[in-house]
Chains A and B, each alone.
Chain A
Amino acid sequence: MLRTPNFCLLGLSCLLCGCKVSPPSPLERNVVVAAEHEITVGNRSQKNPLPLTHQTLAAGKEAFGHYCVVCHGLDGQLTGVPFADRMSPPVPSLTSRQVQDYTDGQLKWIIDNGLAPSGMPASKGTLSDEEIWSIVHFIRHLPPAGSLGEPDVYSH
Protein backbone atom coordinates (compact mmCIF):
# COMPACT_ATOMS: atom_id res chain seq x y z
CA MET A 1 0.00 0.00 0.00
CA LEU A 2 2.77 2.42 0.96
CA ARG A 3 4.96 1.48 -1.97
CA THR A 4 3.10 3.43 -4.68
CA PRO A 5 3.48 6.88 -3.05
CA ASN A 6 7.12 6.10 -2.24
CA PHE A 7 7.91 5.16 -5.81
CA CYS A 8 6.06 8.26 -7.05
CA LEU A 9 8.15 10.41 -4.73
CA LEU A 10 11.35 8.75 -5.89
CA GLY A 11 10.31 9.08 -9.53
CA LEU A 12 9.56 12.76 -9.06
CA SER A 13 12.95 13.25 -7.36
CA CYS A 14 14.69 11.56 -10.29
CA LEU A 15 12.88 13.78 -12.78
CA LEU A 16 13.80 16.92 -10.88
CA CYS A 17 17.42 16.01 -10.23
CA GLY A 18 18.26 13.98 -13.31
CA CYS A 19 21.21 11.60 -12.97
CA LYS A 20 23.37 13.87 -10.87
CA VAL A 21 24.29 12.43 -7.52
CA SER A 22 23.04 14.64 -4.73
CA PRO A 23 22.24 14.03 -1.08
CA PRO A 24 18.67 12.86 -0.49
CA SER A 25 16.35 15.32 1.18
CA PRO A 26 15.44 14.60 4.81
CA LEU A 27 11.92 13.66 3.70
CA GLU A 28 13.18 11.28 1.03
CA ARG A 29 15.69 9.79 3.45
CA ASN A 30 13.15 9.31 6.24
CA VAL A 31 10.56 7.72 3.96
CA VAL A 32 13.05 5.29 2.48
CA VAL A 33 14.62 4.34 5.83
CA ALA A 34 11.18 3.78 7.38
CA ALA A 35 10.07 1.70 4.41
CA GLU A 36 13.22 -0.42 4.59
CA HIS A 37 12.92 -1.05 8.31
CA GLU A 38 9.20 -1.77 8.35
CA ILE A 39 8.31 -3.12 4.92
CA THR A 40 10.92 -4.03 2.37
CA VAL A 41 13.64 -5.70 4.44
CA GLY A 42 12.48 -9.14 5.50
CA ASN A 43 13.68 -11.85 7.87
CA ARG A 44 12.97 -9.73 10.94
CA SER A 45 12.54 -12.63 13.37
CA GLN A 46 15.47 -14.89 12.48
CA LYS A 47 18.09 -15.20 15.21
CA ASN A 48 21.83 -15.46 14.64
CA PRO A 49 22.58 -19.20 14.84
CA LEU A 50 26.27 -18.64 15.59
CA PRO A 51 27.32 -18.26 19.22
CA LEU A 52 29.02 -14.99 20.08
CA THR A 53 32.64 -15.95 20.76
CA HIS A 54 36.07 -14.44 20.15
CA GLN A 55 36.48 -16.91 17.28
CA THR A 56 33.19 -15.90 15.67
CA LEU A 57 34.03 -12.22 15.95
CA ALA A 58 37.47 -12.84 14.45
CA ALA A 59 35.84 -14.81 11.62
CA GLY A 60 33.37 -11.95 11.09
CA LYS A 61 36.14 -9.40 10.96
CA GLU A 62 38.02 -11.53 8.42
CA ALA A 63 34.94 -12.11 6.25
CA PHE A 64 34.08 -8.39 6.45
CA GLY A 65 37.60 -7.74 5.17
CA HIS A 66 36.98 -9.69 1.95
CA TYR A 67 35.29 -6.72 0.27
CA CYS A 68 32.83 -4.97 2.62
CA VAL A 69 35.72 -2.77 3.71
CA VAL A 70 35.94 -1.10 0.32
CA CYS A 71 32.72 0.81 1.03
CA HIS A 72 32.38 0.55 4.82
CA GLY A 73 36.01 0.82 5.94
CA LEU A 74 37.88 -1.67 8.09
CA ASP A 75 36.02 -0.43 11.16
CA GLY A 76 32.58 -0.29 9.51
CA GLN A 77 32.62 3.44 10.20
CA LEU A 78 33.82 4.67 6.81
CA THR A 79 37.36 5.47 7.93
CA GLY A 80 39.40 6.27 4.83
CA VAL A 81 36.56 5.62 2.34
CA PRO A 82 36.82 8.64 0.02
CA PHE A 83 33.38 8.37 -1.59
CA ALA A 84 31.27 7.43 1.43
CA ASP A 85 29.44 10.76 1.55
CA ARG A 86 29.46 11.26 -2.23
CA MET A 87 26.98 8.48 -2.92
CA SER A 88 23.23 8.89 -2.96
CA PRO A 89 22.22 7.84 -0.42
CA PRO A 90 25.55 8.22 1.42
CA VAL A 91 27.08 5.02 2.83
CA PRO A 92 25.91 4.86 6.46
CA SER A 93 28.22 4.18 9.36
CA LEU A 94 27.42 0.70 10.59
CA THR A 95 27.27 2.02 14.14
CA SER A 96 24.45 4.42 13.21
CA ARG A 97 20.90 3.82 14.43
CA GLN A 98 19.85 3.47 10.80
CA VAL A 99 21.85 0.22 10.74
CA GLN A 100 21.85 -0.93 14.35
CA ASP A 101 18.04 -0.71 14.56
CA TYR A 102 17.75 -3.63 12.16
CA THR A 103 17.38 -7.04 13.78
CA ASP A 104 20.11 -9.63 13.22
CA GLY A 105 17.81 -11.40 10.75
CA GLN A 106 17.30 -8.19 8.79
CA LEU A 107 21.04 -7.53 8.63
CA LYS A 108 21.50 -11.07 7.27
CA TRP A 109 18.74 -10.38 4.73
CA ILE A 110 20.39 -7.13 3.60
CA ILE A 111 23.80 -8.79 3.17
CA ASP A 112 22.15 -11.67 1.29
CA ASN A 113 19.96 -9.59 -0.99
CA GLY A 114 21.47 -6.14 -1.12
CA LEU A 115 19.48 -2.97 -0.57
CA ALA A 116 17.78 -0.74 -3.11
CA PRO A 117 17.86 2.16 -3.50
CA SER A 118 21.49 2.19 -2.41
CA GLY A 119 24.79 0.80 -3.61
CA MET A 120 24.60 -2.20 -1.26
CA PRO A 121 25.16 -5.36 -3.35
CA ALA A 122 23.68 -8.82 -2.80
CA SER A 123 26.28 -11.19 -1.35
CA LYS A 124 24.38 -14.47 -1.24
CA GLY A 125 26.61 -17.05 -2.92
CA THR A 126 29.62 -14.78 -2.76
CA LEU A 127 29.79 -15.26 1.00
CA SER A 128 28.64 -18.39 2.81
CA ASP A 129 25.78 -18.26 5.32
CA GLU A 130 28.26 -18.83 8.13
CA GLU A 131 30.45 -15.97 6.97
CA ILE A 132 27.45 -13.66 6.74
CA TRP A 133 26.21 -14.54 10.23
CA SER A 134 29.71 -13.97 11.60
CA ILE A 135 29.70 -10.55 9.89
CA VAL A 136 26.41 -9.77 11.66
CA HIS A 137 28.15 -10.44 14.98
CA PHE A 138 31.04 -8.21 13.89
CA ILE A 139 28.64 -5.39 12.97
CA ARG A 140 27.18 -5.58 16.47
CA HIS A 141 30.64 -5.33 18.04
CA LEU A 142 32.58 -2.91 15.85
CA PRO A 143 35.93 -1.57 17.06
CA PRO A 144 36.39 2.15 17.82
CA ALA A 145 36.32 4.38 14.74
CA GLY A 146 39.73 4.70 13.14
CA SER A 147 41.32 1.99 15.28
CA LEU A 148 42.00 -0.31 12.33
CA GLY A 149 43.34 2.29 9.91
CA GLU A 150 42.03 2.53 6.36
CA PRO A 151 41.70 -0.11 3.63
CA ASP A 152 44.97 -0.79 1.79
CA VAL A 153 43.34 0.02 -1.53
CA TYR A 154 43.11 3.70 -0.53
CA SER A 155 46.64 4.10 0.75
CA HIS A 156 48.66 2.72 -2.18
Chain B
Amino acid sequence: MKLNWTLRISLLALFVISCAWRLSRAQDPPRRIEIVAKRFQFTPGEITLKKGQPVVLVLTSQDVEHGLKLEAFNQVVKSKKGQSSQVEFTPTEVGTFVAQCAVFCGSGHGGMKLTIHVTE
Protein backbone atom coordinates (compact mmCIF):
# COMPACT_ATOMS: atom_id res chain seq x y z
CA MET B 1 0.00 0.00 0.00
CA LYS B 2 2.81 2.40 0.95
CA LEU B 3 4.78 1.55 -2.18
CA ASN B 4 1.70 2.09 -4.21
CA TRP B 5 1.36 5.67 -2.86
CA THR B 6 5.07 6.35 -3.50
CA LEU B 7 4.65 5.18 -7.08
CA ARG B 8 1.61 7.40 -7.58
CA ILE B 9 3.38 10.46 -6.21
CA SER B 10 6.44 9.78 -8.36
CA LEU B 11 4.32 9.47 -11.49
CA LEU B 12 2.51 12.69 -10.63
CA ALA B 13 5.83 14.47 -10.10
CA LEU B 14 7.10 13.18 -13.43
CA PHE B 15 3.96 14.41 -15.15
CA VAL B 16 4.27 17.88 -13.59
CA ILE B 17 7.96 18.12 -14.52
CA SER B 18 7.18 17.02 -18.09
CA CYS B 19 4.43 19.63 -18.43
CA ALA B 20 6.66 22.35 -17.02
CA TRP B 21 9.46 21.40 -19.43
CA ARG B 22 7.12 21.46 -22.40
CA LEU B 23 5.69 24.81 -21.31
CA SER B 24 9.15 26.31 -20.91
CA ARG B 25 10.08 25.08 -24.40
CA ALA B 26 6.90 26.47 -25.86
CA GLN B 27 7.68 29.86 -24.37
CA ASP B 28 11.19 30.01 -25.86
CA PRO B 29 11.30 32.81 -28.42
CA PRO B 30 11.43 31.42 -31.97
CA ARG B 31 14.79 31.43 -33.66
CA ARG B 32 15.17 34.39 -36.01
CA ILE B 33 16.97 34.11 -39.34
CA GLU B 34 17.58 37.07 -41.63
CA ILE B 35 17.52 36.38 -45.35
CA VAL B 36 18.45 38.95 -47.97
CA ALA B 37 16.96 38.65 -51.44
CA LYS B 38 18.57 40.23 -54.45
CA ARG B 39 18.37 39.30 -58.14
CA PHE B 40 18.84 36.30 -58.41
CA GLN B 41 19.89 34.84 -55.08
CA PHE B 42 19.07 34.55 -51.43
CA THR B 43 21.78 35.19 -48.84
CA PRO B 44 22.41 32.85 -47.14
CA GLY B 45 21.52 30.31 -49.80
CA GLU B 46 21.20 27.48 -47.28
CA ILE B 47 19.89 27.36 -43.74
CA THR B 48 19.55 24.57 -41.19
CA LEU B 49 16.56 24.35 -38.87
CA LYS B 50 15.65 21.98 -36.05
CA LYS B 51 12.56 19.85 -36.17
CA GLY B 52 10.01 21.12 -33.65
CA GLN B 53 11.81 24.42 -33.06
CA PRO B 54 9.79 27.48 -34.13
CA VAL B 55 11.58 29.79 -36.52
CA VAL B 56 10.99 33.27 -37.90
CA LEU B 57 12.38 33.95 -41.35
CA VAL B 58 12.83 37.65 -42.04
CA LEU B 59 13.02 38.37 -45.75
CA THR B 60 14.52 41.66 -46.89
CA SER B 61 14.45 42.58 -50.58
CA GLN B 62 17.20 44.85 -51.81
CA ASP B 63 16.37 45.58 -55.43
CA VAL B 64 12.89 44.55 -56.57
CA GLU B 65 10.02 42.68 -54.96
CA HIS B 66 10.90 39.10 -54.09
CA GLY B 67 9.22 36.35 -52.17
CA LEU B 68 9.81 32.97 -50.59
CA LYS B 69 7.52 30.11 -51.44
CA LEU B 70 8.01 27.47 -48.75
CA GLU B 71 5.94 24.71 -50.31
CA ALA B 72 6.99 22.07 -47.77
CA PHE B 73 5.85 24.28 -44.89
CA ASN B 74 2.80 25.68 -46.64
CA GLN B 75 4.06 29.25 -46.26
CA VAL B 76 4.61 32.20 -48.58
CA VAL B 77 6.16 35.54 -47.71
CA LYS B 78 6.70 38.48 -50.04
CA SER B 79 8.78 41.58 -49.58
CA LYS B 80 8.83 44.78 -51.62
CA LYS B 81 12.02 46.62 -52.56
CA GLY B 82 13.81 47.93 -49.46
CA GLN B 83 11.32 46.35 -47.09
CA SER B 84 11.24 43.34 -44.81
CA SER B 85 8.53 40.80 -44.17
CA GLN B 86 8.54 37.77 -41.95
CA VAL B 87 6.97 34.38 -41.64
CA GLU B 88 6.88 32.06 -38.63
CA PHE B 89 6.51 28.32 -38.72
CA THR B 90 7.69 25.15 -37.00
CA PRO B 91 9.28 22.42 -39.11
CA THR B 92 7.70 19.07 -38.38
CA GLU B 93 9.66 16.86 -40.78
CA VAL B 94 13.33 16.09 -41.12
CA GLY B 95 14.75 16.49 -44.62
CA THR B 96 16.04 18.90 -47.23
CA PHE B 97 13.56 21.24 -48.84
CA VAL B 98 13.90 23.88 -51.53
CA ALA B 99 12.11 27.21 -51.34
CA GLN B 100 11.63 29.24 -54.49
CA CYS B 101 11.32 32.95 -55.17
CA ALA B 102 7.59 33.63 -55.09
CA VAL B 103 7.53 36.82 -57.15
CA PHE B 104 8.65 36.88 -60.77
CA CYS B 105 11.78 39.02 -60.72
CA GLY B 106 13.47 38.61 -64.10
CA SER B 107 15.59 36.31 -66.22
CA GLY B 108 17.11 34.35 -63.32
CA HIS B 109 13.91 34.02 -61.30
CA GLY B 110 13.57 30.28 -61.95
CA GLY B 111 16.95 29.56 -60.37
CA MET B 112 16.46 31.75 -57.30
CA LYS B 113 16.25 29.17 -54.53
CA LEU B 114 16.86 28.72 -50.83
CA THR B 115 17.79 25.29 -49.50
CA ILE B 116 16.41 24.42 -46.08
CA HIS B 117 17.82 21.50 -44.10
CA VAL B 118 15.72 20.29 -41.17
CA THR B 119 17.54 18.12 -38.64
CA GLU B 120 16.45 16.27 -35.48
A residues lining the B interface (CB < 8 Å): 63, 66-67, 123-132
Q: Which of B106, B107, B108, B110 is the one whose CB lies under 8 Å from A131?
A: B110
Q: B104 near A123 (CB under 8 angstroms)?
A: no
Scan B92-119; emit 1 where CB is below 8 A from any A CB, else 0: 0000000010001011111101000000
Q: B104 near A124 (CB under 8 angstroms)?
A: no
List 3 A-B pairs, minimum CB-CB distance, nearest first: A66-B104, A128-B110, A127-B110
A sample of 19 cross-chain residue pairs with beta-carbon separation below 8 angstroms, ordered by A number, consists of A66-B109, A67-B104, A123-B110, A124-B110, A125-B108, A125-B110, A126-B106, A126-B107, A126-B108, A126-B110, A127-B109, A128-B100, A128-B109, A128-B110, A128-B111, A130-B71, A130-B100, A131-B110, A132-B110
In the bound complex, residues from chain A placing their C-beta under 8 Å from that of B71 are 130
Main SS class of interface, B: mixed
B74 to chain A, nearest CB (A): 11
Q: Which interface residue of B104, B106, B109, B110 has the most chain A CB atoms within 10 A?
A: B110
B96 to chain A, nearest CB (A): 16
B25 to chain A, nearest CB (A): 34
Per the bound structure, the CA–CA distance linking A131 and B100 in Å amounts to 10
A19 to chain B, nearest CB (A): 27
Q: B100 near A125 (CB under 8 angstroms)?
A: no
Q: A125 near B104 (CB under 8 angstroms)?
A: no
Per the bound structure, the CA–CA distance linking A127 and B106 in Å amounts to 9
Which B12-65 residues have C-beta < 8 A from chain A? none
In the bound complex, residues from chain B placing their C-beta under 8 Å from that of A128 are 100, 109-111, 113
In the bound complex, residues from chain B placing their C-beta under 8 Å from that of A125 are 107-108, 110-111
In the bound complex, residues from chain A placing their C-beta under 8 Å from that of B113 are 128
A84 to chain B, nearest CB (A): 22
In the bound complex, residues from chain A placing their C-beta under 8 Å from that of B106 are 126
Per the bound structure, the CA–CA distance linking A41 and B100 in Å amounts to 28
Q: A126 near B100 (CB under 8 angstroms)?
A: no
In the bound complex, residues from chain B placing their C-beta under 8 Å from that of A67 are 104
In the bound complex, residues from chain B placing their C-beta under 8 Å from that of A63 are 104
In the bound complex, residues from chain A placing their C-beta under 8 Å from that of B100 are 128, 130
Per the bound structure, the CA–CA distance linking A124 and B111 in Å amounts to 9
Per the bound structure, the CA–CA distance linking A136 and B90 in Å amounts to 33
List 19 extra interface pairs beyond A126-B107, A128-B100, CB under 8 A: A63-B104, A66-B104, A66-B109, A123-B110, A124-B110, A125-B108, A125-B111, A126-B106, A126-B108, A126-B109, A126-B110, A127-B109, A127-B110, A128-B110, A128-B111, A128-B113, A129-B110, A130-B71, A130-B100
